[in-house]
Amino acid sequence: MTPDTKIKEQTIFHHIGNKIKTEDREINIITRLEEPLLVILGNVLSDEECDELIMLSKDKMQRSKIGATRDVNQIRTSSGMFFQENENNTIIKIEKRISSIMNIPIEHGDGIQILKYTPGQEYKAHFDFFSPISGASINNRISTIVIYLNDVVQGGETFFPKLNFSVFPQKGMAVYFEYFYNDTELNEQTLHGGAPVITGEKWVATQWMRRQRVR
Ligand SMILES: O=C(O)CCC(=O)C(=O)O
Ligand SMILES: [Fe+2]
């Protein structure tokens, strides 16, 4: 192999073509970037499912914590909550669907997290994986899906500064990306954040997957 021959690394997301057929819903693959693998998905949740997730979480939202120390800080100013695994039938159904999209058993998931941003709130650029010096990196995260639960009037894009790429929230759609590469540089290209909301609210459901099961 010559030094400039680069072999494409193995990916987790195995779907090909423009559809993912899950048990109960056909998901649309709209756009994909190959390395790092980043996919925009349509029709992930119905309008009713989005509304239900917001309804089920809205009285339980707390100021978001971050990292292993779970400190409140300025990196993430949104509020959020986690659903327990199998918390109710909607969660069971959605977790199953997320698991088939991400091609990882749901037991590897940190749980569905709902985040709510009001105007001015944001999630500054960050990695979803833990730094190798952190204890949590023993069972590190490998992939993420962020599902948009509403249309945001203005602002709130999920931005990837190293890829010069932004995703505008649309109800029921999602962005998926993975960072399970041997090549650290590829993982680091998944740096991303949620831009400040300017007008309206932004609601998302996030699932972070780990290398090994956590439940
Ligand atoms: O709100 C967003 O657009 C991004 C959320 C995010 O980065 C996360 O939950 O890890
Ligand atoms: Fe993130």
Instruction: Encode the chain (215 residues) as per-residue pLDDT tens digits.
Output: 555 667 888 899 999 999 999 999 999 999 999 999 999 999 999 999 999 999 999 999 887 766 655 555 678 888 999 998 788 999 999 999 999 999 999 999 999 999 999 999 999 999 999 998 999 999 999 999 999 999 999 999 999 999 999 999 999 999 999 999 999 999 999 999 999 999 999 999 999 999 999 98
| 3-class DSSP state of 35 | coil
Whether residue 3 has a cis bond before it, omega within 30° of 0: no
Exposure pattern of 160-178 as b/e (b: 16+ CB <10 Å)? Answer: beeeebebebebbbbbbbb
Complex ipTM > 0.85? yes
What number does the ligand 1 atom closest to the CA of 158 have?
Answer: 3
Closest Cα to residue 167, out of 129, 130, 202? 202
From 65, 102, 144, the mutation candidate for ligand 1 (largest count of ligand atoms within 8 A of CB) is 144
Q: Is 157 in the pocket of ligand 1 (CB under 6 A)?
A: no
- How far is ligand 1, taken at its centre, from the CA of residue 3, in Å? 36
Closest to 171 in 3D by CA, of 157, 153, 152, 151: 151
β-bridge pairing 113-117 and 79-82: antiparallel
